[in-house]
Chain A
């Protein structure tokens, strides 16, 4: 079945460091790919998405490129801030008529220190 694998956390970085969180997926067909972020005590917020191969999603300095050949969607940011501390979930949405069923990775906790 469809699945998402994320690198295990926690990831601990100093402010202004470069961030990479790896995400690979297994899916039939051509799913859409998403990164969601969850701040402590809150629900999930969409960070970025890509709907086809070679698409690059970007938002708030974060980027991820849909790589079909490596079935990957790695999240990157050039310079993290303390406010980026949160849990990041990679997710895929396979084709479904009438709704989008999200399949999440396990999540990666990011802690950024001043």
Chain B
């Protein structure tokens, strides 16, 4: 299995809602990543987990809360988002050592009303 899956594919939420994005991989990767991608822009790194511990937080607002319950799962909890948070959210995973490419999921298209 060389796939990263993400659910849901699309999500529409209001600014007062709480929702979660989910990401799963079964490749035995021990590094997992969340990216945010706005239209016609490259992905921007948000968070990195290595061996289930948060290694990088790229100064992301606290309304985004990541969670890594085990080595195969990565969640992104959303609360009190703003319309400018509307974007494609991509999850990726990789081996936790040098020179290994990241495998990306298809993304969740988030719209905040």
Contacts and interface: CB of A to CB of B under 8 A. Distances in A.
Interface of A: 32, 34, 36, 42-46, 49, 51, 89, 93, 95, 98-102, 104-107, 109
Which of A42, A43, A105 counts the most chain B CB atoms within 10 A? A43
Across the A-B interface, the 5 shortest Cβ-Cβ residue pairs: A104-B42, A99-B31, A98-B50, A43-B104, A44-B104
B102 interface: yes
Contact of B42 (A32, A34, A46, A107): A107
17 contacts: A32-B98, A34-B101, A36-B104, A42-B107, A43-B105, A44-B90, A44-B104, A46-B101, A95-B98, A98-B31, A98-B51, A99-B56, A99-B94, A101-B48, A101-B56, A105-B42, A109-B40
Interface string B80-101: 0000000000101010111111
Given A43-B90, A43-B107, A44-B43, A102 B51 contact: no
A32 B99 CA distance: 6
Contacts of B48: 99, 101
A106 B42 contact: yes
A105 to B, nearest CB: 7
Contact of B104 (A45, A51, A98, A105): A45
B102 A102 contact: yes
A74 B52 CA distance: 35
Interface of B: 4, 6, 31, 33, 40-43, 45, 48, 50-51, 55-56, 90, 92, 94, 96-107
Contacts, number: 63
A23 B41 CA distance: 16
Contacts of A100: 31, 94, 98-102
Contacts of B56: 99, 101
B7 to A, nearest CB: 13
Contact of A42 (B31, B41, B99, B106): B106
Which of B43, B48, B106 counts the most chain A CB atoms within 10 A? B43
Contacts of B98: 32, 95, 100
Which of B43, B45, B90, B101 counts the most chain A CB atoms within 10 A? B101
